[in-house]
A and B are shown apart, each in its own frame.
Chain A
Amino acid sequence: MKVFRAFEYRRGTTILHRVDPRSKLVYLILFTVLTVYFTRLLALLLVFLSFLPMVYIGKISARWKQSLRGSLFFIVFIFIFNFIPTAYLSGNIYGAAISAIAMSLRFLNLISVFSIFFLTTSPEDLTQSMVQLKIPYDYALTFNMAMRFVPTLSREAQYIMDAQRSRGLEMEKGNFISRIRNYIPVLIPLIISSFRRAELVADAMESRAFGASKKRTSLYILKMGRRDLLFITVALASSLALFAVNLFL
């Protein structure tokens, strides 16, 4: 569950924190596309390396590492499920290993780029920027609230696990199938309480007159500045460079 905590925004003053969310959105999209488009291990590795300066500039290395550690389980999972079938079908163990590592690295890259984005972007700014991008306020708010409830959900999952372990549930017991089944007593209360919470929040919002006025105004308006121009230029240039390198690899 630590993997969620690694996406929680913390206030900060670095340039990465101050760049407009829309500029960071450009960065997010560019690097997500690159990661999905690249297939070669070396190219994916270069993308991964390009995150290091970002993490350093944004002073988020501790949380970023946490997010990587938290996704270790999935990475092992992805590796195994790519390696075994490919090795079995092609008989080429070395090739299968390389492509399985590439797949795992791709996942790592996605986690990294999203974690860089969310760790440095405040939810309020994100909502505001979505509104300024002409996304209807209802959708922007829904998105914001979904993000807002991730930590709540992870804490709730912890409480539920505590309660079920107190009744003798052993999560790590048994073979692969029964381990998955062990999650049922945790997932059901979690899902039900999430639905209930959603209902409660909706009721609470309506009783405070959400949606009463058709036209909303904002206290703060986000403005793009020179900083953003610089940021977008660097993002574009580096992704073009990566793209070119990939062509000639």
Chain B
Amino acid sequence: MIRIECVTYSYSEGISALDGVDLEIGDSELLAIVGENGAGKTTLVKHLNGLLKPQHGRVLVEGIDTRETTVATLARKVGLVFQNPDHMLFAETVEKELAFALTNFGVPPEEIAKKVEWALIEFSLSNYRDRSPFTLSGGEKKRVSLASVLCYGPKIIVLDEPTTGQDNLQKTRLASTLTRLNRQGETVIVVTHDIEFVADFIPRVVVMSKGRVIADGPTEEILVRKDIMDASSILPPQLAELSWEIGLNTPSINTAMIVEEIRHMLGRTNK
């Protein structure tokens, strides 16, 4: 359970990156945070493991105020994967890279081996086990960075733009990994610009714009709202656009529902 209460944050005087954000995230939720460039998404997620502390308001992670604890303590609960894998990778081999966090947390060696093995398979990295992370392609590096956090099994997983540079196969794989972890009880928060990914796999969406949360709710309700999509410079899902274009009574992002609705309309005009 995460509670974000009226949090404000500014990097320098006068320009606020977060401007009074309220958000509640329950246990084992799967949700996306979307919004324009500079909306404050990265700033917000850096509050979740205490890298940034709120200047006003507070952030509670499982009842603990982030100001009263350390990043190292919170990091065990909250696994944060950043946008840019180049800011993370440093080890000689992919395998050692994956073991880094586990070693920091003092996990016993046999268990480290087991968890690294799991992550190598889960993120299709087994072939790269002994390769230097620096020799990998952009998408592969991204996967190593994801694996290096997910491998230690944090209860709350926060991913900043996990789908950038991933081909469709890897995206689907990522989605199924996330869905599975979520079903096993983990909270998964995905920051992304990939709206189709959200539409396909993520049930709840939080829309941010200019440091505020401007909408929050079930994905199929939020992504079909043209006003919200425009306000936060989001390219709406193609199905939503199709629904608007046809003029459906209840626009949708679900193929089956759209087909149903069209059938319904056609039936009416035929009569």
- Contact surface of A with B, Cβ cutoff 8 Å: 156, 159-160, 162-170, 184-186, 188-189, 192-193, 196
With the chains together, A169 CA to B46 CA distance in Å? 16
When distances are taken between beta carbons in the complex, the residues of chain A under 8 Å from B72 are 165, 168-170
With the chains together, A196 CA to B86 CA distance in Å? 10
- Closest Cβ–Cβ distance, residue A95 to chain B (whole Å): 43
Name the one of B49, B89, B90, B134 contacting A166, with C-beta atoms under 8 angstroms: B49
Of B97-105, B181-189, B253-261, the stretch lying at the interface with chain A is: B97-105
Q: Does B60 contact A (CB under 8 A)?
A: no
Tell whether, in the assembled complex, residue B87 and residue A166 are in contact, meaning their CB atoms are under 8 Å apart.
Answer: no
With the chains together, A165 CA to B71 CA distance in Å? 7
Interchain residue pairs with CB less than 8 A apart (25): A156-B87, A159-B87, A163-B82, A163-B87, A163-B88, A164-B88, A165-B72, A166-B49, A166-B51, A166-B71, A166-B75, A166-B81, A166-B82, A167-B88, A167-B100, A167-B104, A168-B101, A168-B104, A169-B72, A169-B104, A170-B72, A170-B104, A184-B90, A189-B86, A193-B86
When distances are taken between beta carbons in the complex, the residues of chain A under 8 Å from B88 are 160, 163-164, 167, 189
Name the one of B46, B84, B101 contacting A167, with C-beta atoms under 8 angstroms: B101
When distances are taken between beta carbons in the complex, the residues of chain A under 8 Å from B148 are 167
- Closest Cβ–Cβ distance, residue B262 to chain A (whole Å): 47
With the chains together, A189 CA to B88 CA distance in Å? 7
With the chains together, A160 CA to B51 CA distance in Å? 12
Interface 1/0 per residue, B90-127 and A, CB below 8 Å: 10000000001100110000000000000000000000
Q: Does B76 contact A (CB under 8 A)?
A: yes
Tell whether, in the assembled complex, residue A162 and residue B51 are in contact, meaning their CB atoms are under 8 Å apart.
Answer: yes
Tally of contact residues, B, Cβ under 8 A: 26
Q: Does B224 contact A (CB under 8 A)?
A: no
Q: Which of B75, B100, B104, B148 has the most A CB atoms < 10 Å from its CB?
A: B104
Which 10 residue pairs are nearest across A and B when measured between Cβ atoms? A168-B104, A188-B90, A167-B101, A166-B80, A163-B87, A163-B88, A160-B87, A165-B71, A185-B90, A159-B87
- Closest Cβ–Cβ distance, residue B70 to chain A (whole Å): 8
Not counting A159-B84, A170-B104, a sample of 5 additional A-B residue pairs whose C-beta atoms are within 8 angstroms of each other reads A160-B88, A167-B101, A167-B148, A168-B152, A170-B72
Tell whether, in the assembled complex, residue A185 and residue B100 are in contact, meaning their CB atoms are under 8 Å apart.
Answer: yes
With the chains together, A235 CA to B155 CA distance in Å? 63
With the chains together, A133 CA to B148 CA distance in Å? 52
With A167-B100, A167-B101: A159-B82 Cβ-Cβ less than 8 Å: yes
Q: Does B61 contact A (CB under 8 A)?
A: no
Tell whether, in the assembled complex, residue A162 and residue B46 are in contact, meaning their CB atoms are under 8 Å apart.
Answer: yes
Tell whether, in the assembled complex, residue A167 and residue B87 are in contact, meaning their CB atoms are under 8 Å apart.
Answer: no
When distances are taken between beta carbons in the complex, the residues of chain B under 8 Å from A184 are 90
Residue of A nearest to B134 (CB): A192
